[in-house]
Structures are given as structure tokens and as C-alpha cells.
Amino acid sequence: MAGNQIGKTWCGGMEAVMHATGRYPPDWKGRRFDRPTVGWVCGVSGEVVRDTCQRVLVGRSGSIGSGAIPKDAIGELVTARGIADLLDTIKVQHVSGGTSIIGLKTYLSGREKFQGETLDWIWLDEECSMDIYTEALTRTNIGGGPVWMTFTPLLGMSDVVRRFLQEKSPDRVVVGMTIEEALHYSAEERQKIIDSYPAHERECRTKGIPVLGSGRIFPVEEVKIAIEDRSFPSHWARIGGMDFGWEHPFAAVELVHDRDTDTVYVAKTHRLKEASAIEHAAAIRSWGRDLAWAWPRDGKRETLEGAGIALAEQYRAQGLNMLHEHAKFEDGSVSVEAGLMMMLDRMRTGKLKVFKEHLDWWEEFRLYHRKDGKVVKEGDNLLCATRYALMMLRYAKTKSFSDAWRHAHRFAVMAPLIAVAALARA
């Protein structure tokens, strides 16, 4: 899932060629076939398949053999009907001595044209509908062969995109590619390309982030808030925020507040589902026992797992410094919209920064959107935890003060014992 003209189609084509020829790089860790294969290469229309996938595989018309399939491996080429220079089938010599078959298909032919065949692999270039995608999966069920898709998510949060980004599975993976990784462009060329796109398409066409249009809650370019990992002065204030969850993940963040500039940094993140309060507390306790934790209103709710004990109390029992009340603004309100606008204002003014390494946080940021005017409450756990902590930022404390207090208290307790020991030695 990548931006435009970055190289995703070449990547997809190279994998197709490896499976068809059996010529794998020595360091290839993916699926290998030691026999001829039957696979499909699919695209939006016949013209698009000819000009993209077919060009990558065998070259343009008149220069067959200039594509990714080695010229000495190209066998019979069967021409399709109806569209000039479009191929229907490419026969390829496999290193085992047999012949692999690559069929070229289009989404326009509909799901029915994807039925019946048993295949070793399928490459889908550009996004297809969910019914075609599931039909493609079905074609490879018997051998468990790979299905891969190369596309720019211009259709936004479609069913296919949502499946890959929000329905986690060990059998699916998303590989992102941004224009910053496209080294065939110079820095000046990359910036020129970025500036050429309309603002609402820029993140999608250059980074592969799904287009959410006016429905995106935080329409802010990542470069404005993303920073490299860094350390902070000990006198800057800190506060934690958490969002409770089981089937949807529990999430926690630590915010660091530079009061002089009123800039807040998302310094630490934790997200995990189907884990107990004991497990979560063990993971975030190292952030500091004196770290104050903001929590949502549902923290007063009791759970069966907690044997009737309110959620906030379960975490307090694990040694976390839970604030005395749930997250609210100073006037006592708990408006979600007010919290989102507060976050958006900070992003736009440069007063909210996030480490680039917090990939889970960025995943939520990119996909957070509205549907029919309402916030879609899916995949927003770290963002909610951030919002709760910002709502209670007035309770943030400096780490240096708490440490100094603890050391002073320890000295006050130990001083009489030290004095007695000294007298005894005298």
C-alpha cells in the first residue's frame, strides 16, 4: 500500500516473475515453488493491465523481452481479443524444465470470471472490490499460495483496506512505501511531486495513507508533528493517559509537557488487547510509579474479570498512580468533540509532537475519521488515551520534584539511624 509512481507495481511484478521462473534471489524468505506454476495477474481494465502489469513483465509492444521476465524464459505469448497488443496468456520457462502459465485478467469482467480455476498465486495490481478479492483468495485455497495486492488507497477506508489495516491476522501483512523511500527521485524532484498534489490527496499519493477526505478528523500533514526520538529535561512535567479495553485494545501514553512553550510530546505508547490489568500495569509501571494517570469515565465501571471492582481501582491496586477523578476539562465537561478540537489546534500550531517510532499511534492517526458526521469509534485507543491525558494536563508533575521529595524523605528517615551509628563508632 504505497504512493503513486514509487515502485509498487515493479515489486509486485518481480514476485510474479520469481514464482513463474523459479529464479529466486538467495536471500528470498518468502514462498518458493520448485515446479512450474499457474498464476494470474489482474488489474482494473484491459488497457491498464497492458500498460502496467504486462509492460513490467515482458516490456512494451515492439520490445518484448525488456521487462522483468528474462528474455530467454519467455515462451508462447497468446494475444487477447478486443484490445490492441493486450496479452491473454504468457508462458514462461521454469528452471525445473516445465512451463509456467501467467493469465492476465481484469476486474471489469466481474467476480464470475474469477471462479473455477485453481491457482498457485495471484497478483492484484490496484485495489479491487471485496468480492473479487475473496474470490482470488479462494482460487489459492488448495495450495495455500500467496495473493498480493499493490495499490494506492485512493478509495479511502474501503472494505479491503479496512480488512488489512484493522482486522489483524498472521496471514496478512501491510508493507508501506512512501515517496521518501523512492530513491530514483532526487530530493528536489520529490518535493516538486509532493507540492503538485491537492492537499487532501497529498498523504495518499505520496505515502499510501488512505484518502479520508473531509471525513478525516486530523487533516494535518505528519511532517508538522512527527519528530525523532529525544530525551527531555527532568524538570518538564509528565502525565499518563489510558483507555481501557479488552477485545479492542487497552492503550496508554506518556505525555511530556514543556510548560515554557506549552508544547506536549507523546513520549511513550503501549497498546495491547485481551490482557488483564496486571499485565498492562506490569508493562507501564516502569514509566514511573509517581506518574499520574488520567483515565476515562468508564473507569468507574465494574467488570466480571475484576470480580466487581471498578476498572480504575484495579489499576490503582497494581500500584499505578490513578488520578482521583476521571478525565474532564476544568469546567467539568467531558465533550469528545472539544477534546478532538483541542488536539487538532495543538497539531496545527506545533504544540503537539509525536515520536516517529510510535507506529501504532501513527496508524490510528492516519485512519481516524468520521462517517455521516459521526466519529468512527474503531482503532482510536491511543488517540483516546492521548486526549484523556491532555484533558488532565493540569495534573502533570515534574519528575525531578517527585524524585527530590523521595530522596529527601529517605534521608529524613535514615538520618537518625546514621547519627546513632556514628555515635556507636565514637
Residues carrying an active site annotation: 126
Nine cell digits for residue 126: 490496484
Map grid coordinates 485495489 to a residue.
127
Q: Do 375 and 336 touch, CB atoms closer than 8 A?
A: yes
| DSSP-based helix, strand, coil % in the chain, nearest 5 | 40, 20, 40
| CA geometry: angle 100, 103, 104, nearest 5 deg | 145
Terminal-residue alpha carbon distance, the chain: 76
- Give the residues across from 99 on adjacent strands: 93
Q: How far apart are the C-alpha atoms of 277 and 283, rounded to whole Å?
A: 10
Nine cell digits for residue 80: 487477447
Q: Do 292 and 397 touch, CB atoms closer than 8 A?
A: yes
- Give the residues across from 93 on adjacent strands: 99
Nine cell digits for residue 1: 500500500
Map grid coordinates 471525513 to a residue.
215
